[in-house]
Structure 1
């Protein structure tokens, strides 16, 4: 059984401000496969404050910096693919072969696709034959809510474009 009761906030794993454990049930056999912590308002506030503090630096990062981060993320994900498949299989009650072949790989496909788009995207665009330019800038801090189905796919489809565009979360 997995026990992950900490939150990753401001670059480190931290204890929740209030203990509020939640059992994750494997739908295939109705056993508890993990225990996680449910966040409180204080945990949310800490995460938002950290994202706001990181925004000035990340929003001004270069396209090359963002590509490098996503490439590192992809490499780590690839190394941990079997771990991802196992956790997804337990959480969703899916057969491990299905989890390996379609669920876990969805994350790498999303990262690859967004890397392709980021490499060819121009954050500055000259308009017509004038001196006018259009600049694409990060919007700010993102709050991302993901559904339960296709767990890693839903996360990567939100997190990766936010990071690629210079937003924090």
Structure 2
């Protein structure tokens, strides 16, 4: 078993676990998370979302971003300048659509989340640009979901 710096189990889900988790996704979430699609700008539920808490992977529940690192980029997608744990996000070179970008994927289940760009605010200069349907939100103070039943249920958002 591999654990992240913040203590989460990063062991990839089995094919059967992915199938079971994906059964709960709607068609749009499946297209984005599993088939590396993108939702149109300015339509995602988290673009203008202001509540405090943690955004996690919509497939496996791994915590990805804190609302404290969220900012309004004007891009039409929820944007963050850093993740909650570097081990929770994988960077992949994406050469699709005639350009070179950095795709971001969940560090545990490998779901497509969005892309990261080097035009963000301080302190990192990064803009993690996410698809809303790729994330689930846990309000500050509530227990983080443990959809794979692997992590400490005492861990709370915030």
TM-score with structure 1 setting the length: 0.27
Q: Which has the higher contact order (CA 8 A, sep 6+)?
A: 2
**Taking structure 2 as the reference length, what is the TM-score of the superposition?**
0.28
Considering fraction of residues, name the structure with more helix: 1
